[in-house]
């Protein structure tokens, strides 16, 4: 476990670009349906932008 509590988040904002944000880390999908077209990543991911937590949707077939 990381010493700094603010670093104990599953996702980290790496950088922002004109076309979006670059995120590093991972989250689990424990109660999600077996088949999905999109994955919702909620505020529990710990990514903050200003005073707000980021949430976003990622297509399952999104490029890495």
Asked whether 14 and 22 are in contact (CB, 8 A), the reply is yes
For residue 47, is it within any domain? Answer: yes
How many domains does the chain divide into?
1
Q: Is the pLDDT of residue 37 over 70?
A: yes
For residue 51, is it within any domain? Answer: yes
Residues 6 or more apart whose Cβ sits within 8 Å of residue 30: none
C-alpha to C-alpha distance for 31 and 34, rounded to whole angstroms: 9
pLDDT tens profile 11-33: 888 898 998 888 888 777 666 56
For residue 40, is it within any domain? Answer: yes
Which structural domain, as residue segments, surrounds residue 31? 5-59
pLDDT of residue 34: 65
Q: How many CB atoms lie within 10 A of CB 18?
A: 4
For residue 64, is it within any domain? Answer: no
pLDDT of residue 64: 66
For residue 35, is it within any domain? Answer: yes
Question: Rounded to the nearest 5 degrees, what angle is found at the Cα of 45, between the Cα atoms of 40 and 47?
Answer: 110
């Amino acid at each position: 476990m990381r010493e700094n509590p603010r670093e104990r988040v599953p996702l980290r904002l790496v950088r922002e670009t004109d076309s979006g944000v670059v995120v590093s880390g991972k989250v689990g999908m424990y109660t999600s349906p077996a088949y999905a077209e999109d994955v919702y990543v909620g505020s529990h991911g710990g990514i903050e932008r200003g005073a707000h937590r980021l949430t976003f949707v990622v297509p399952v077939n999104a490029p890495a």
